[in-house]
Amino acid sequence: MTDPVIAAIEALPPLRDVIGRYQLSARKSLGQNFLFDLNLTRRIARAAGNLSSGTCIEVGPGPGGLTRALLLEGARKVIAIERDRRAIEAIQDLVEAADGRLEIIEADALNIDLASLGEGPRRVVANLPYNVGTPMLLAWLKQAEAFESFTLMFQKEVAERIAASPGTEHYGRLSIAARWRAEIFPLFDIPPRAFTPPPKVTSQVIQLRPRAEPLAEADPELLEKVTAAAFSQRRKMLRASLKSFGGAEFLETAGIDPTARPETLSIEQFCALARALDARR
């Protein structure tokens, strides 16, 4: 027997009709690029895993393309955070069709404690606005233990920086912050033509699965401080870029070669530098 919620959602008008009815043109100031292709949105929803328990948290649902997909793929509960009043009005028919499975919060997601929303396990599934995706992810990773997974879409260049390994060109502060708290799995690309309006860049969906505990012991603020200094002069040896911390002597106390360059260090080695910095306080 067909789930009545799924039947109600499938009977809703196409997203393009919804956008026309509510004059929901994408706003550059909000980083909006709408994804209409239900095959793609359902692929993203399926990538998030079994949605039949816990809570799916979506940021920036817009006209509700991914929101529909999450519900059609069996999400027990979706909490969507949206700051655009036009989108909130446009998505009300979906709220009614979802029969209690969809809740909309009008807010800026940067100001919301996602770890307090809904019941666990919590999964964040979102086509993040390009202009705020990175700070959102870094904020969520500070509470990584509260989430089962993050299935997120970024500009491909940003996704590559998040997933980069030591010794590669994209490895840097963002890679270290993300990999320190989570395992990262690049999933698939989405071309510009799939969006309205089409962005100038390819997007990529990646999944982050929080670790039970960070990869190595370190104070997060000190880890950020030492990685910021190291990668501020990426081409220089660490004894030069970390001169303000004590240069070669500081590096040697952490067991790091002073002539090494930052992209060659593992996350564990950066954690060792953070601990050495902590020991000097």
Reported as a single tens digit per residue, the pLDDT across 136-179 is 999 999 999 999 999 999 999 999 999 999 999 999 999 999 99
Asked if residue 4 has a cis previous peptide bond (ω within 30° of 0), the answer is: no
Band of pLDDT at residue 20, cut at 50, 70 and 90: confident
Q: Which residues contact 202 (CB under 8 A, 6 or more apart)?
A: 155, 156, 189, 190, 191, 192
Q: Which residues contact 138 (CB under 8 A, 6 or more apart)?
A: 174, 177
Q: Which of 123-137, 179-193, 214-228 has the lowest mean pLDDT?
A: 123-137
CA torsion sign for 43, 36, 80, 11 is negative
| CA-closest candidate to residue 216, choices 269, 264, 174 | 269
Band of pLDDT at residue 46, cut at 50, 70 and 90: very high
CATH class of 4-210: alpha beta
CA 91 distance to own-chain centroid: 23
CB atoms < 10 A from the CB of 190, how many?
A: 21
Question: pLDDT over 70 for what percent of the chain?
Answer: 97
Q: Name the residue with tokens 């909130």.
A: 88
Q: Report the C-alpha gap between 73 and 70 in whole angstroms.
A: 5
Q: What is the pTM of this model?
A: 0.94
Mean pLDDT of 244-264: 95
| CA-closest candidate to residue 208, choices 140, 155, 267 | 140
CATH homologous superfamily of 220-279: rRNA adenine dimethylase, C-terminal domain (1.10.8.100)
Write down the pLDDT at residue 184.
98
CATH 1.10.8.100: which residues of the chain? 220-279
For residue 127, say whether it is annotated as part of any ligand binding site: yes
Band of pLDDT at residue 29, cut at 50, 70 and 90: low
Average pLDDT value over all residues in the chain: 93
Mean pLDDT of 25-34: 69
Write down the pLDDT at residue 164.
97
**CB burial string 240-260: b at 16+ within 10 A, e below:** ebbeebebbebbebbebeeee
For residue 93, say whether it is annotated as part of any ligand binding site: no
Band of pLDDT at residue 77, cut at 50, 70 and 90: very high
For residue 35, say whether it is annotated as part of any ligand binding site: yes
What stretches of 154-236 show up as alpha helix (H) in DSSP?
156-163, 173-181, 220-232
For residue 108, say whether it is annotated as part of any ligand binding site: yes
Give residue-wise pLDDT tens across range 110-131. 999 999 999 999 999 999 877 7
Write down the pLDDT at residue 26.
65
pLDDT exceeds cutoff 90 at 32: no
Band of pLDDT at residue 1, cut at 50, 70 and 90: low
Amino acid residing at 100: G
CATH 3.40.50.150: which residues of the chain? 4-210
